[in-house]
Amino acid sequence: MADSGGSPASSALEKLKAYVKTRKGTILTAEILISFIILICYAASYYGGYSAVAICEMVFAIIFMAVFMMELDKSFQVVNWPWSDLIRAAIGAALYLITSFICIIGGGSDGARIAGGVFGLLAAILFGYDAYSVWMQIKGGRTHTPAATDEGV
């Protein structure tokens, strides 16, 4: 008899392919990729200390992508996942913005550091957009029923 369920690895791969096609999945994938590019740029520069921001943001984006892809946010309702994602994205945007300005202004002749700063500004915009979209999702998720009026009587 043939197994119609497939292996768990193929199931996870199918979930990943389906999730990357969603808007949130595309944003998280872009955040992971740009954080990896920034990590490479900072690691190649003379001052590798700025790579900690890229590592942390990439790991957090991977964790949130795994949680949303496997739909664990519906299982573990102890954590308020939209607010956690909003805080992650907002802090990521702020950290990338700060470190990028520091790297661009103080880069001097270190081309890799300046490149990491420029990609960091792009990452700050991407993380800011992610925070904005999550905020709109949270704001739109509230149900507000208008009060009844006696205008029709």
Q: Comparing 143 with 62, which gets the higher pLDDT? A: 62
Q: Do 96 and 127 touch, CB atoms closer than 8 A?
A: yes
Give the residue from 106, 115, 108, 94 showing the smallest Cα distance to 34: 115
Span between the terminal Cα atoms of the chain, in Å: 69
The lowest-confidence range among 20-24, 47-51, 111-115, 140-144 is: 140-144
Q: pLDDT digits over 1-46, tens only?
A: 445 556 776 787 888 888 889 999 999 999 999 999 999 999 998 8
Q: Comparing 58 with 7, which gets the higher pLDDT? A: 58
Mean pLDDT of 75-88: 90
Q: What is the mean pLDDT of the chain?
A: 86
Q: Do 124 and 97 touch, CB atoms closer than 8 A?
A: yes
Mean pLDDT of 47-57: 88
- pLDDT higher than 70, residue 106: yes
pLDDT band for position 76 (cuts 50, 70, 90): confident
